């Protein structure tokens, strides 16, 4: 087993270098046009220099420009609704592009790119603007824990201590973010926000950090919805993991989120991307039957019969690791014909 890992790592390294050379020689068609099938891509934030200090998910606008260039050239980029309705080109890789979390950086840096390449994309947005907490809780955690001078804190009667690599863990070995996901409810998150209130006040004053937590205003959401290339969908109301809270609470979060977005955009919202990929079978069925959310997005499927629900599809999560040619070559079909 161990030997196989090493061998495959060596061969991966060779493949990765080869991919770089192929793109450098402008022979990328060899890789890109070989792919056939369909995939939905998940991106999150966009910044200007791909800063990975706080989290590993933000692509720079320059990298995304390259992604869009090659995707437009070699794949069939389609909207999420067309993906569900299987409006596919059988001879190509069909790609639907999605961005989660509704960051202001999507409005600032991504909307111009989408309009430059004329590509359909979906943005999945929370209702956090209608609360006193105008940020995604995970970004609050990433930033507050990065900048705090504390070496330990108590949350929900449990102590979290700073380890040698700078991350915090409790005595179950869980980081605050994992524990917050496990507990699920909003009260526990509010307790966490209270603990790091002064750190976050300082963070909010720093303009160079705005890209890493600020979410779109109502007016910016409206402007995105008015773009012919952008479709707006729900990402829950508070970004709670909807499989870890009471069914009734999950339902009201989705109703609130749908009402909030429809009120802003004046368009029907029929797409949802479940926050952190968390959902239950009952919730997906209820969303489809009661709210006409006919295009629902998971990360990976969580339950046995998920694929048979034709209103639910999985996605491929992308991270800005490796070189751009290798990022592109890792875009593989989730569905094949």
Q: Give the interface with Zn ion as residue ranges (CB under 5 A).
A: 100-101, 275
Do the Cβ atoms of 292 and 268 come closer than 8 Å? Answer: yes
Q: Which is nearer to Zn ion, 101 or 220 (CB)?
A: 101
Q: Which is nearer to Zn ion, 138 or 324 (CB)?
A: 138
Q: Which of 270, 274, 262, 268 is nearest to 235 (CA)?
A: 274
Q: Which is nearer to Zn ion, 85 or 182 (CB)?
A: 182
Report the alpha-carbon angle 315-321-325, nearest 5.
85
Q: Is 121 helix (H, G, I), strand (E, B) or coil?
A: strand
Q: How large is the C-alpha radius of gyration of the chain?
A: 20
Q: Which is nearer to Zn ion, 126 or 329 (CB)?
A: 126
Least spacing, CB of residue 66 vs Zn ion, in Å:
24
Least spacing, CB of residue 139 vs Zn ion, in Å:
10
Q: Which is nearer to Zn ion, 23 or 140 (CB)?
A: 140
Least spacing, CB of residue 157 vs Zn ion, in Å:
28
Strand pairing class (168-169; 158-162): antiparallel
Least spacing, CB of residue 297 vs Zn ion, in Å:
11
* CA dist list (Å): 307 to 35, 98, 298: 22, 19, 11
Burial category of 157 from C-beta neighbours within 10 Å (exposed 0-12, middle 13-18, buried 19 and up) = exposed
Do the Cβ atoms of 243 and 302 come closer than 8 Å? Answer: yes
Measured at CB, which residue is nearest to Zn ion? 100
Least spacing, CB of residue 236 vs Zn ion, in Å:
8
Q: Which contiguous run of DSSP H or E holds residue 35?
A: none
Q: Which is nearer to Zn ion, 35 or 181 (CB)?
A: 181
Q: Which is nearer to Zn ion, 32 or 254 (CB)?
A: 254
Q: In the chain, where does DSSP find H-type helix?
A: 2-24, 29-32, 61-74, 80-84, 104-105, 111-117, 137-147, 176-183, 186-195, 197-205, 218-225, 247-265, 281-291, 324-329
d(CA 336, CA 238): 35
Least spacing, CB of residue 235 vs Zn ion, in Å:
6
Q: Which is nearer to Zn ion, 275 or 320 (CB)?
A: 275
Least spacing, CB of residue 242 vs Zn ion, in Å:
11
Least spacing, CB of residue 275 vs Zn ion, in Å:
5
Least spacing, CB of residue 266 vs Zn ion, in Å:
24
Establish how many alpha carbons lie within 13 A of residue 233's alpha carbon, considering only the half-sphere containing its beta carbon: 27
Q: Which is nearer to Zn ion, 95 or 125 (CB)?
A: 125
d(CA 273, CA 125): 9
Burial 6-29 (b: 16+ CB within 10 A, else e): eeeeeeeeeebeebbebbeeeebe
d(CA 302, CA 279): 8
């Amino acid at each position: 087993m161990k030997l196989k890992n090493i061998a495959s790592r060596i061969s991966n390294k060779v493949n990765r270098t080869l991919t770089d050379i192929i793109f450098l020689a402008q022979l990328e068609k060899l890789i890109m046009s070989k792919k056939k099938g369909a995939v939905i891509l998940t991106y999150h934030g966009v910044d200007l220099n791909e800063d990975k200090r706080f989290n590993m998910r933000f692509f720079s606008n320059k990298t995304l420009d390259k992604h869009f260039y090659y995707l437009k050239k070699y794949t069939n980029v389609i909207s999420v609704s067309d993906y569900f309705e299987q409006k596919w080109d059988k001879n190509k890789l069909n790609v639907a592009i999605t961005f989660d979390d509704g960051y202001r950086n999507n409005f600032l840096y991504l909307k111009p790119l989408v309009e430059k390449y004329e590509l359909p994309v979906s943005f999945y947005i929370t209702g956090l603007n209608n609360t006193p907490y105008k940020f995604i809780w995970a970004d609050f955690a990433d930033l507050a824990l990065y900048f705090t001078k504390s070496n330990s804190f108590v949350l929900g009667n449990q102590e979290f201590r700073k380890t040698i690599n700078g991350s915090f863990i409790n005595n179950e070995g869980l980081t605050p973010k994992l524990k917050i996901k496990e507990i699920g409810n909003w009260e526990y998150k509010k307790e966490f926000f209270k603990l790091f209130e002064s750190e976050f006040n300082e963070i909010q004053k720093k303009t160079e950090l705005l890209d890493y937590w600020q979410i779109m205003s109502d007016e910016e959401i409206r402007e995105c919805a008015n773009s012919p290339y952008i479709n707006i969908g729900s990402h829950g109301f508070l970004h709670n993991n909807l499989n870890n809270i009471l069914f009734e609470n999950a339902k009201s979060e989705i109703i609130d989120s749908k009402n909030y977005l429809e009120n802003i955009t004046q368009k029907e919202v029929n797409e949802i991307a479940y926050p952190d990929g968390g959902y239950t079978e009952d919730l997906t069925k209820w969303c489809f039957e009661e709210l006409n959310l006919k295009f629902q997005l998971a990360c990976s499927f969580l339950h046995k019969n998920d694929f048979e629900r034709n209103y639910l599809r999985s996605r491929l999560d992308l991270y800005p690791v490796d070189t751009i040619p290798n990022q592109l070559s890792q875009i593989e079909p989730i569905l094949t014909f």
